[in-house]
Structure 1
Amino acid sequence: MTEFPGRPRVTKGAILAFGLSVPVPTQLIVFPLNPDTLTRRFDLGQATGGKAAPGAGEPTTPVNTPVENLTVTLDLDATDQLEQPSANPVTVVSGLLPVISAIEQLIHPSTVMTALTDQLSKIGLSTIKPATVPWTVFVWGIGRVLPVRVAGLTVTEQAFDARLNPISARADLQLTTLTKNELDQAPSAVKALVTVHAVAREALAAVNTAQSAAHAPSVLPL
């Protein structure tokens, strides 16, 4: 696809997958096209069910971090790559199967790690089981890098080549932030991202407060 020369460069969204303790991603899925919409829903659940401290009144704010649920739809199309077969031999042979397989692998355990665990168990050396699926990080711009779990995935294949490889497809991803128990088992790199994300959100909220304070005289009666 030829872009207009004056069009600004757009940051691509992405999903990173981490292994047990590897500080660098073991898998990278860059969105071919950024989704038109990103739906974010916050589930307070038990977050408002905390007990007030002795002598305090009823709590008016959540005492626990709410669970954030994100819905993302990825549009996948191999048309541009197929128009330049010499530059994209893998797409010519496999269509969209590589990227679809990468997305599906987010919810499947590694066959290598599963086999290794089974062998270690048989000889009595396996004391800690590896994660059944990789640790997943959703990247949506520099200010939002958030560890998540894939809670649901629907892949709709819409067109195929002569080999029945999909060349047009849509992947609907349901993502949810990690629970405290999940974070306790996560590698340090993943845990650190949660703190960075929270600090960035609080900093941006503080910026908004400062901006709003400048307009306070015009909205508050004196």
Structure 2
Amino acid sequence: MSKIPGYPKTARAALVVFEAPNPIPSVITLQYNPDKMQRDVKASAIEGGARSDAFRLTGAPVETIKMEVWFDATDKLAEGDPFTIANGIYPQLASLEMLLAPSSAVVVANSIMLAAGTIEILPASAPFLILVWGKRVLPVRMAGLSVGEEAFDVNLNPIRAKVGLDFTVLTYSDLEQSHPGYAMYLGHQIVKEQMGRATRAGTVASILSQKLSTN
């Protein structure tokens, strides 16, 4: 389908993945932007405290994000793309699933250390994950995913699937000050504060003027 001249190009939602020790990130671009995003934001407040603590906040709000994304190999198969013909959309699904699992190299290394008598083995670290959605660039942790594979090729490779993604936003309350996600979240909050203040300008005056005009 030809593009309309002068029509702005739609931004693509993506996940940027930093996996130590590699300093160069990889990018998982969502094939189609989700139609909707479910965000749940809860205050970090003092529960059951003194009356003087009624408005106190203990840190950044706790935010979770849910979305459903689609992957479809139809166009690539029609173009005769050899990689898609051989694998379908299995590589795209695998790239998301591996965000929830320690790498096989870490598993093997830990097994060797245990066999050698190492007393303490540190749990594997998940990759540093960034959700890019328009103006929102957020450090997140993938909390889980659900995969509905809906069509397959002759080799039973999935060629169409709906994936539900669950994220927990990581804030300055979760990260060390030296972590890049700490400053990233603060920057995100500053942008929200500026946008929020812009909508508040004149609000009280307009409400008062409306009330006086009705009396």
CA shift in 2, pair 1:187/1:28, >3 Å: farther
RMSD: 2.8
> After the TM superposition, which residues 14-163 of structure 1 pair with which residues of structure 2 at under 5 Å, given as runs?
14-20=14-20, 22-25=22-25, 27-44=26-43, 46-49=44-47, 57-85=52-80, 88-120=81-113, 122=115, 129=122, 131-141=124-134, 143-163=135-155
More displaced 10-residue stretch of structure 1: 57-66 or 102-111: 57-66
Q: 1:97 to 1:178 in 2, by over 3 A?
A: same
Question: In the alignment, does 2:198 pair up with 1:207?
Answer: yes
Counterpart for residue 9 of structure 2: 9
| Distance (Å, rounded) in 2 between the aligned partners of 1:50 and 1:145 | 34
Which piece of structure 1 moves more, 189-198 or 71-80?
Answer: 189-198
Equivalent residue runs for 1:165-180 within 5 Å: 165-178=157-170
CA distance in 2, matches of 1:21, 1:196: 25
Deviations 1:112-143 (A, max 9, x none): 122234335555789773634222221111x2
Identity of aligned residues (%): 32
Report the Cα offset of residue 4 of structure 1: 3.3
Q: Deviations over 1:153-198 (max 9, x none)?
A: 10000011111111110100111123767524x9722333222222
Going from structure 1 to structure 2, the CA distance change for 1:64 and 1:160 (only over 3 Å counts) comes to same
Separation (CA, whole Å) in 1 of partners of 2:174 and 2:106: 19
Q: What secondary structure, in the 3-state scheme, does the structure 1 residue paired with 2:17 have? A: strand
Deviation at 1:19, TM superposition (A): 2.0
1:70 CA displacement: 0.6
For residue 205 of structure 1, give the secondary structure of its aligned residue in structure 2. helix
Per the normalisation by structure 1, the TM-score is 0.80
Moved beyond 6 Å, runs of 4+: 124-128
Where 2:79 maps in the other structure, the secondary structure is: coil
Q: Which runs of 5+ in 1 are unaligned?
A: none
Change (3 A) 1:111 1:172: same
Give the Cα separation in 2 of the matches to 1:80 and 1:89: 12
8 Å contact kept, 1:117–1:126: no
Match for residue 198 of structure 1?
Answer: 189
Shift of residue 148, structure 1, vs aligned partner? 1.3
